Amino acid sequence: MRDDQWSSGVMSGHRSAAREEALRRAFTGASRVVCGAVDVEAARLAYQEAGFGVTDALVAFLREYGETTVFWPSHVTGDESSLTISVEEAAAEFNLRFYEKRLGMSALPVGVAFSTGESVLLAENGDIVLGGEGVVQRVANGFEESVRALISGDWDMTFF
137-159 per-position pLDDT tens digit = 999 999 999 999 999 999 988 88
* Residue 91, SS3 per DSSP: helix
How far apart CA 36 and CA 19 sit, in angstroms, is 10
Q: What CA–CA distance (Å, rounded) separates 111 from 88?
A: 8
Of 4-8, 49-53, 110-114, the one with minimum mean pLDDT is: 4-8
**Phi and psi at residue 42, in whole multiples of 5°?**
-65, -40
Q: Which of 10-14, 58-62, 72-76 has the lowest mean pLDDT?
A: 10-14
pLDDT of residue 15: 58
With cut-offs at 50, 70 and 90, classify the pLDDT of residue 133.
confident
Mean pLDDT of the chain: 88
High-pLDDT (> 90) share of the chain, %: 75
Cβ atoms of residues 138 and 129 within 8 Å: yes
Quote the CA–CA distance of 40 and 48 in Å, as a whole number.
12
pLDDT at residue 33, rounded to an integer: 96
- Helices then strands, counting H and E runs in the chain, come out as 6, 7
pLDDT above 50 (res 19): yes
Check residue 30 and give its pLDDT: 96
Whole-Å CA distances, 155 to 16, 132, 151: 28, 17, 9
pLDDT tens-digit profile of 82-104? 999 999 999 888 889 999 999 99
At residue 9 the predicted structure's pLDDT band, cuts being 50, 70 and 90, is very low
Helix-helix angle 13-26:143-152, to 10 degrees: 60
> According to the model, what pLDDT value does residue 4 have?
33
